[in-house]
Amino acid sequence: MRLVLFGPPMAGKGTQASMLAEKLGLLHIAMGDLLREAVAANTSLGRKAKKYMDEGALVPDAIVIGLVEGKMKTSNSEAGFILDGFPRTVEQAEQLEQFTDIDLVLSIDLPFDRLVERSTGRRVCRKCGAVYHIDFKPPRKPEVCDRCGGSLYRRDDDKESVVRERLRAYEAQTQPVINYYDLRRKLKFVDGDKSIEEVGMRLLEAIFDKWPELEVKVAKAEAARKAAGEQKPPKKEAIPGIKTRRQQGRGRRGSPRDRKKKAGGQPQKKPRHRPKKKK
């Protein structure tokens, strides 16, 4: 299964790509992460990419294609992969076709006004960085962080004019690539104006439309995962190497049964409390 996922900024594309990769056992190739890893590792591709990333410009096609191809060769992508943040240009899509086929392209679709609402309502804690939303996840006290009591603020890049500019740039950049896959009948739109869970379900439905046999497999794997998650992990030893009485299967200290044993079969009687007689 070879997938590509598109989605405008703030549509939750990264979250959905990770969820799909986990549920379907796919390799998640997030282009932004791959580039940041290359920069952090100071590889020659990373060094070349850095100056473009610092300017917020697209990194040249040859570099990103080299990174994707390398990642596919060196990682286990037998079950398939999901590309997130790649391809971003028609040139990248054409180059990708030279070394692998794409089966399905999913595009998370939602009106720009909703995305503007999502970002302009976002508030971030100055102290601990916790994220809120004035409508969807409001703090208990307005403008105050629930977690640490710090004050909340709106980031500069969450201002409406900045957000609209980012969305316009996304559209101008992505539309030709969307058209490229549409012409090849690989594209499906998924309604993104829903909760994270619902969007996830719709993405899966679009995938099951193409691979119906997967639906039962994924449901079974999910049930098994849930069952495993519900089993309580064994209690840790308080002092490494020393088990509690309970862990040794010896019950609690001082239980009535223990006291009875100690007393040679007779349960120890506690002195009864008698109220003092009034004189």
- Minimum CB separation from ligand AMP for residue 66, in Å? 12
Residue written as token pair 């720009």: 112
Please give the size of the binding site for ligand AMP, defined by CB under 6 A.
14
Residue whose C-beta lies closest to ligand AMP: 32
Instruction: Copy the structure tokens of residue 102.
Output: 């794409």
Does position 267 interact with ligand AMP (CB under 6 A)? The reply is no
CA-to-CA distance for 26 and 21, rounded, in angstroms?
4
Does position 52 interact with ligand AMP (CB under 6 A)? The reply is yes
250 is catalytic: no
Site for ligand AMP in 95-154 (CB under 6 A): none
Among the listed residues 155, 154, 136, 138, the one whose alpha carbon sits nearest the alpha carbon of residue 193: 136
Closer residue to ligand AMP, CB minimum distance, 56 or 241 = 56
- 12 phi/psi in degrees, rounded to 5: 80, 25
User: Which of 23, 154, 166, 259 is the catalytic position?
Assistant: 166
Contact of 93 with 177, CB cutoff 8 Å: yes
Order of strands across the sheet that contains 131-133: 131-133, 122-125, 152-153
Does position 45 interact with ligand AMP (CB under 6 A)? The reply is no
13 is catalytic: yes
DSSP state of 131: E
155 is catalytic: yes
Does position 35 interact with ligand AMP (CB under 6 A)? The reply is yes
Among 1, 27, 39, 58, binds ligand AMP (CB under 6 A): 58
The set of catalytic residues is 13, 88, 122, 155, 166
